[in-house]
Structure 1
Amino acid sequence: MDRTYRVVNRIFATLFAAMGYRFDVRGIEHIPATGAGVLAGNHIGFLDFTFIGYAARERDRLVRFMAKRSVFEARLAGWFMRKMRHIPVDRRQGWRAYRQGLRLIDEGELVGVFPEATISRSWLLKPFKRGAAGLAVSRQVPLVPVVVWGGHRIYTVDGHRSLRRRVPITVSIGEPLIPGEGESIDELSARLHIAMEGLLDEAIGTYPATPRNDSDRWWMPHDRGGTAPDRETAAILDREAVARIGDTFE
């Protein structure tokens, strides 16, 4: 079962090894070994879901990610995404993805969600959509915070891509958040944001690489000496990008 997903995992693992990417996976024990749950990840690059999925292999879990609809419309990539039971998201009909996520949770699956919805150009957390917390509250399953750091140096928005070898990639997984009795979606989402802020701050602070020169400071947040835009400026850039690409998202 899930043969296609496992083959794709092996392919990515081989590619990552060939590129010499140096993974530092922290807190892998927090991913449930069995049963349903929601993994909520930050979004800084196009390969975030592959890095989180790569980490989850250590627990022998396959994560069904919510991803933009346009990926599913590509002939080859779409076929693989559907075979791996990932979830297409259409901005105009988000309820369809939400309903599919609930069905997968009811089947005991792990559903991966990026609550920021689009890539953060500041590399810091944006305000969250309610979907991740909503799934967890609706089915009373663990909500697991996850952050990736370093992966944006490989492939992200605004033309940033690199074939540089041996890039360090941190994947940090926090303790599962269990929805409390009577806890609202917004309350759980706020707890998630706090947990992910802490994980991201630690991941950035302990990352084993620094920019090589001034032109390489683009991948560091503005408050860490980088040239990434601050949150307010990044929010404007994000809105402009969404306006350009219509109902798809990064």
Structure 2
Amino acid sequence: MTDQDREPTAHSGEPHSRHDDDAAGAEQQKNPATDRLKVISQWRPWEPSEPAPYVLDSIDAHGAPPEDHGPTPVAPPAESAQIGLEHFTDPGRRRMRAIARKIFFNGLVDRTITRRVERKPGAEVLSGACVVVANHSSHLDAPLIMSSLPVNLRQHVATGVAADYFFTTWYKKLFTQLVFNAFPIDRKGAGENRGLSRKLLSAGIPVLVFPEGTRSKDGRMREFKVGAAALASSIKVPVLPVALIGAHEAMPRDTSWPRRGRPPVVVAIGEPLTVRENESTVAFNERIQATVRSLYREYRPLIDQ
């Protein structure tokens, strides 16, 4: 072998053959650890695997009829009625909920979406009992709202959930109570728990409800049922309107996980509303709906920023 067949190595300066280079290269190519390293180095978790969906300009359904979700299942009153006021006021339970929420909300929700929170001045100083209402089109809605409320509301808010879905098995009930401080609602309005929300408000606990009754299939807001407006009117507590912008596109109905790429979501919290003198429940309910739609229109441009 001539000197021309030899080249110095980069490290030792000792000569070796081109055959040795080829063998080393072949061995490196077959090395599983090297292959995995290449895959990891090429992975970009922040890059979406699908085009970002266009967020609706308006959630106004323009007179569209209520969506057909089939017959509403009957709630299990015997199981759900076993929840009392102590579940929401006990200091030990509150500490457990605070830990569970921090893990779930901060560890999961904020790692899957890009959130922006906007609050009106009146919302910042609100405390005590109130009825929080919002448009409903995603499983992200409740955790987004609860973790976006001002601290003085966030720590105590209880969420009304469908008894016929979340209170049918022990593990669903345990999870929703622990994380969402949930209380059951019979969507037909005839369950044994219809007075529990009144008891919570009377005890100074804010409640979160979705007056549409169920999640929207297309992201557009349907007519609010009058229950939330009637509840706030009868106990003389304010209603806190919230508009969720982009939540439906981030995690549409019938999906089990948010879209990849951390899609943007805006949580817009408006000024508290109180029933006016001689204002009917129907009129108050319409004013609440109009405010949620207005918040959506006002803050929708933030999605594109």
Normalising by the residue count of structure 1, what TM-score does the alignment of the two structures yield?
0.75
Report the CA distance shift for 1:38/1:7 in structure 2 as closer, same or farther (over 3 A): same
Q: Answer yes or no: is 1:75 the counterpart of 2:170.
A: yes
Higher helix share: 1
Q: Partner of 1:53: helix, strand, or coil?
A: helix
The one-letter code matched in structure 1 to 2:100 is V
Report the CA distance shift for 1:17/1:129 in structure 2 as closer, same or farther (over 3 A): closer
Pair member with larger Rg: 2
* Whole-angstrom CA distance in 1 between matches of 2:237 and 2:162: 24
Q: Residue 153 of structure 2 contacts residue 206 of structure 2 at CA under 8 Å; is this kept in 1? A: no
Q: Partner of 1:190: helix, strand, or coil?
A: helix
Q: Residue 89 of structure 1 contacts residue 97 of structure 1 at CA under 8 Å; is this kept in 2? A: yes
The offset of 1:60, in angstroms, is 5.1
Report the CA distance shift for 1:9/1:160 in structure 2 as closer, same or farther (over 3 A): closer
Residues 59-74 of structure 1: matches in 2 within 5 Å?
59=152, 61=154, 62-69=156-163, 70-74=165-169
Q: Residue 243 of structure 2 contacts residue 295 of structure 2 at CA under 8 Å; is this kept in 1? A: yes
Residues 166-205 of structure 1: matches in 2 within 5 Å?
166-205=262-301
* Whole-angstrom CA distance in 1 between matches of 2:125 and 2:192: 25
**Runs of 4+ that moved beyond 6 A:** none
Q: Residue 25 of structure 1 contacts residue 171 of structure 1 at CA under 8 Å; is this kept in 2? A: yes
Report the CA distance shift for 1:17/1:197 in structure 2 as closer, same or farther (over 3 A): closer
Structure 2: 5+ residue runs without aligned partners? 1-90
Question: 1:83-140 deviations in whole A, cap 9, x for unaligned?
Answer: 4542212234445443111100000011111111111223222111011101110111
- 1:142 aligns with 238
Aligned-pair Cα RMSD in Å = 2.2
Residues 190-199 or 71-80, more deviating: 71-80
Q: Residue 135 of structure 2 contacts residue 221 of structure 2 at CA under 8 Å; is this kept in 1? A: yes
The one-letter code matched in structure 1 to 2:292 is M
* Whole-angstrom CA distance in 2 between matches of 1:4 and 1:119: 28
* Whole-angstrom CA distance in 1 between matches of 2:138 and 2:298: 19
- 2:117 aligns with 25
- 2:53 aligns with none
The offset of 1:200, in angstroms, is 1.4
Structure 1: 5+ residue runs without aligned partners? 210-250
Report the CA distance shift for 1:78/1:25 in structure 2 as closer, same or farther (over 3 A): same
The offset of 1:58, in angstroms, is 3.8
Q: Answer yes or no: is 1:16 the counterpart of 2:112.
A: no
Q: Residue 120 of structure 2 contacts residue 271 of structure 2 at CA under 8 Å; is this kept in 1? A: no
Report the CA distance shift for 1:184/1:73 in structure 2 as closer, same or farther (over 3 A): same
Residues 32-71 of structure 1: matches in 2 within 5 Å?
33-56=126-149, 58-59=151-152, 61=154, 62-69=156-163, 70-71=165-166
Residues 115-126 of structure 1: matches in 2 within 5 Å?
115-126=211-222
State percent identity of aligned pairs: 28
